[in-house]
Amino acid sequence: MRLGQRTCVMGILNVTPDSFYDGGRHYKPEKALAHAFRMIEEGAGIIDIGGVSTRPGSQAVSQEEELRRVIPVIEELSRHTKVPISVDTYRAGVAEKALEAGAQIVNDISGLGDKDMARVAASSGAPIVIMHIKGKPHRMPKNPAYKNLLAEITLFLRRKVNEAIGAGVNESNIIIDPGIGFGKSPAQSFEVLHRLGELRSLGLPVMVGTSHKSFIKHALKPLDGSKTPDSTDVLYGTLATVALAIEKGAKIVRVHEVRESVQAAAVCDAVIRDKKWKASSKT
C-alpha cells in the first residue's frame, strides 16, 4: 500500500447500534453513507467501516448480521468515491465478502485470529492492518499483565507479519497497529504511545487508533473534584494523542472527528516531515 509523506487520516464509520462513541447514529445505511461522504469532504484518506462493536461489555453478533450491516454500505459507497474503503472485521468470511463488494483494505483487530484471514488478504491482493491484541475481541483481560510491554507487542506483530507473508501477502501490503486500548490498561496504553517509535524496527507503516479511548480520560481526572469526562467528551485529549502518535512515526491515524484530526495532522506534518521551514530558517 502506498502512503505519502503526509499522515493519512482514517475516518471511523460504525454501522452498529451499540457503538460507545456515536450510540448507533450511523446504524441505518442512509445515515452511514451521509456520514461517510461528510468525512470524505473533511479530508479522510480512508473510510473504515465496521459492523461489530468491540467496546468493553459489547456482545458479538453472527457473521450473517455483520455482513447485513456492512455490505450495503460498502457497495453503495464504493460506487460514489475513489477514497479507499477499509472493512474493520476479525472474520475472514466478512473480509472476503467486503472486498468483493468494493472494500480495498482489511483492518483486522484480532491480529490474524481467524486462520483464513491471511489467505483472504493474499488472494485478493488487499492491504491488511494487523493489530496486536491480548486475548480476543470480546474476551480481553481486565487486568492485562506483561513482562516487557513493547517487546511482547513487537514479537507478536513480527510473528503475525511472518505468518501473513508465508500465506502470500506482499510485505508492502502490511500495516501494523499496536492495539492501544485492546488488552491494555490505561498506564500500558500511555506507555505504548510513549514508546511507539520502537515499532519502527519492524520496518512497516504504523497505524494508531486512540480516538476517544477510555485511557484518555484517566489523564483528565479533575483536580477540583468535578466530574471526570466520559469517553465521548475527550476530543481535545484525542487530538493530543493523534499529535503524539504522528510525532512518534505513525503513518495512519484512525479517528472519529476527521476535520479536527486533519488539521492536527497537517500541523504535525509541517513541523516533522516538511522541509520548507528548515530551508527558510537559514535565510
Please identify every residue annotated as catalytic: 213, 254
* One-letter identity of residue 50: G
Angle between helices 63-80 and 92-101 (to 10 degrees): 20
Give CA–CA dist 74/105, Å, rounded.
12
Give CA–CA dist 281/283, Å, rounded.
6
Give CA–CA dist 199/155, Å, rounded.
10
Nearest to 6 by CA among 267, 235, 276, 200: 267
Give CA–CA dist 122/170, Å, rounded.
7
Give CA–CA dist 228/222, Å, rounded.
6
Give CA–CA dist 259/197, Å, rounded.
26
Give CA–CA dist 101/184, Å, rounded.
34
Give CA–CA dist 31/124, Å, rounded.
29
Nearest to 48 by CA among 17, 79, 8, 3: 8
Three-class secondary structure of residue 207 per DSSP: strand
List CB contacts of 231: < 8 A, sequence separation 6 or more.
20, 21, 212, 213, 214, 216, 217
